[in-house]
Amino acid sequence: MIFQRGKEVLGTEFPVIQGAMAWISESTLAAAVSEAGGLGVIAAGNAPFSWVKEEISKAREMTKKPLCVNVMLLSPYAEEVALGLVEEDVEFIITGAGNPGKYMAAWKGAGKKVMPVVPSTALAIRMEKSGADALIAEGTEAGGHIGEIATMALIPQIVDAVSIPVFAAGGIGDARGTLAAWMLGAEGIQVGTRFLLAHECQVHPKYKEKIKKAKDIDTMVTGRPTGHPVRVLKNALAREFMKKERAGASVEELEELGAGALNLAATEGDTKRGSFMSGQIAGLLSEEQSCKEIIQDLYIGAVELFAAKCKEADNG
């Protein structure tokens, strides 16, 4: 069966993790994804623990299935969120934008399954050693905070470097991407951008419109000089960012420009001043669907595609 180990580690019907999107993936979306048979993820982003706790209890009223919180390690609240989660009713913790080594013992002690997002084999090996249950290998095609290596090159290298299951992320938006991930050795997928178009996703309608209108060339990467590159849809803010970067603006200046911009995009739909984080796959996406339809298209679509390809091969 395809993705067997991924389904086992998640304990879900489908080996599909909904990618964390700060300010966007809150309780409604996460609960809907879990109810639909995937793993719903609440993004802690830069929020304090009190917010995360509130979202967990809201999600828990909507689903009894496994839930996950993504801890963004660059957040000023990373530590309080990381330690607070020990007592919370979530089965999974995903970490992003750093090395969660120092929290591993506390999480494992509380019976949490931990799945760090890794952008390189070295970090993958280290995370396996410190007790990670699975890894999410995320290529540079992804939206938001990204690494440098593309999914196509990253997945097989990480799969070969570790023995725990690896979930592929970055650039996956339909059944073809899902099946390709399996071919590369992944045991499941994490998808972010496509869930922006889920009916249950509470993001501002203008954000959804921007995703639907986006073409293949419409994302760009800002923040490389700060050491924390972020993939966003092109707009006035993104272009101003690039201009300032080229002019050698200080990290402080760039951070000031970016402060609050994601919230402006996600909750107010400010198309000029907002930061519309998105993966490169946005150009492929145009339909708003339920979480259930999305997950089934990604997974069942991949199983059907595989059968069709096998048939094609048999026919010589």
Interacting residues with another protein (CB under 8 A): 98-99, 101-102, 119-120, 122-123, 125-126, 147, 227
Minimum separation from the CB atom of position 126 to another protein (A): 6
Minimum separation from the CB atom of position 227 to another protein (A): 6
Asked if residue 13 lies in contact with residue 296, where contact means CB atoms within 8 angstroms, the answer is no
What is the Cα–Cα distance from 169 to 158, expressed in whole angstroms?
12
Considering beta carbons, is residue 100 or 188 the nearer one to another protein?
100
Considering beta carbons, is residue 215 or 224 the nearer one to another protein?
224
Considering beta carbons, is residue 66 or 98 the nearer one to another protein?
98
How many other C-beta atoms are found inside a 10 Å radius of the C-beta of residue 58?
A: 15
Minimum separation from the CB atom of position 127 to another protein (A): 10
What is the Cα–Cα distance from 50 to 164, expressed in whole angstroms?
32
Considering beta carbons, is residue 139 or 274 the nearer one to another protein?
139
Say whether 136 sits in a helix, a strand or coil: strand
Considering beta carbons, is residue 226 or 263 the nearer one to another protein?
226
Q: List alpha helices for the chain, DSSP H.
A: 4-10, 27-35, 49-62, 78-84, 104-109, 121-129, 151-161, 175-183, 205-213, 236-246, 251-258, 261-263, 291-314
Backbone angles phi, psi at 290, to 5 degrees: -80, 160
| Strand pairing class (188-191; 113-118) | unpaired
Asked if residue 21 lies in contact with residue 277, where contact means CB atoms within 8 angstroms, the answer is yes
Minimum separation from the CB atom of position 162 to another protein (A): 13
Considering beta carbons, is residue 119 or 283 the nearer one to another protein?
119
* Burial class (CB within 10 angstroms; exposed 0-12, middle 13-18, buried 19+) of 121: middle
Considering beta carbons, is residue 126 or 199 the nearer one to another protein?
126
Considering beta carbons, is residue 103 or 182 the nearer one to another protein?
103
Minimum separation from the CB atom of position 120 to another protein (A): 5
Angle at 243 between CA 143 and CA 230, to 5 degrees: 15
b/e map 143-161, b = 16+ CB within 10 Å: bbbbbebebeebbbebbeb
Angle at 172 between CA 167 and CA 174, to 5 degrees: 120
Minimum separation from the CB atom of position 24 to another protein (A): 25
Minimum separation from the CB atom of position 109 to another protein (A): 17
Minimum separation from the CB atom of position 299 to another protein (A): 31
What is the Cα–Cα distance from 276 to 231, expressed in whole angstroms?
9
What is the Cα–Cα distance from 61 to 57, expressed in whole angstroms?
6
